[in-house]
Structure 1
Amino acid sequence: MGLDALKTTDIIEVMENFLEKRRPPEEIRDKLDISYKIIDQSIFIFEIRPRWNKPEEQMHIEIAKATYVKNKDIWKVYWKRADLKWHPYDPPTVKTLHEFTETVNNDEYGCFWG
């Protein structure tokens, strides 16, 4: 089941603020950019870059995920490892989406941004 409309509005506001601070300069966004998508109760942050062998095609590389757990009112935080599977991050949960974006932005262990 997806997120309700009020929660989705809050998510968009938090994520747009995150992107405003984190996106690369406009002049290089055709080579590297970031964005997000909402699927069901999860938010995915991903990089957008040209495919190495077909530069006219864009690749979306997922780097972070937060899944809302309604009955506990928490967000579970994940990162995508080289095995292309989602793994719990440390801390594995946060109370707010803003905490999630701060965790991704700070990237204490170098999991999201390398």
Structure 2
Amino acid sequence: MEDNPGTINLLAVQIQKFVDSMRPPEEIRGKVDVGFTFVDNTLELFEIRPRWNKPDEIMHLPFAKAKLTKSRGMWRVFWKRASGQWESYEPVPEVKDLAGLFDVIRKDQYGCFFG
């Protein structure tokens, strides 16, 4: 993101709108929610939920990642395997913009992001 704290990052605004559209109703957000980080041109989406055996402990479980390659103007798309390793999302390994990325994640053609 921008180094200037007074600058609004357009990408972060678009990402926030997408994440807000994925969030569950407010009354269950304490049990399951969706969040994101966007640092150094890398977007990571994660599920937020209490640990099943320690409800006071909140877990962030990443399920999608995208890296912007500025020189090519492309986003590389990744999903997280059960082993914890990130792997290229083979149906659509790259997209040209955030709208395309959001579409790929929503459609989840192979069930890699949402099971």
TM-score of the aligned structures, taking structure 1 as reference length: 0.90
User: Who is 1:107 aligned against?
Assistant: 108
C-alpha distance in structure 1 between counterparts of 2:65 and 2:36, whole Å: 9
**Structure 1: where are the runs of 5+ without partners?**
none
Q: Give me the whole-angstrom Cα distance separating, in 1, the residues matched to 2:60 and 2:102.
A: 19
Query: Residue 47 of structure 2 contacts residue 60 of structure 2 at CA under 8 Å; is this kept in 1?
Result: yes
- Structure 2 contact 76–95 (Cα < 8 Å) conserved: yes
Q: Report the residue type matching 1:101 in the other structure.
A: F
- Deviation >6 Å, runs of 4+: none
Q: Which residue of 2 aligns with 1:87?
A: 87
Note the C-alpha offset of 1:102.
Answer: 1.5
SS in 1 for 2:92: strand
* Rounded Cα–Cα distance in structure 2 between residues aligned with 1:30 and 1:44: 20
Matches within 5 A, 1:67-82: 67-82=67-82
Distance in 2 (CA, whole Å) between partners of 1:98 and 1:13 is: 13
TM-score by length of 2: 0.89
Instruction: Report deviation, 1:31.
Output: 0.4
Q: Which has the higher helix share?
A: 1
Deviates most, 102-111 or 77-86: 102-111
Correspondence for 2:15: 15
Number of corresponding residues: 111
Aligned-partner Cα distance in 2 for 1:56–1:49 = 10
Tell me the amino acid that sits aligned with residue 72 of structure 1.
R
**Cα RMSD over matched residues?**
1.6
Paired AA for residue 12 in structure 1: A
> How far apart, in 2, do the equivalents of 1:5 and 1:99 lie?
26
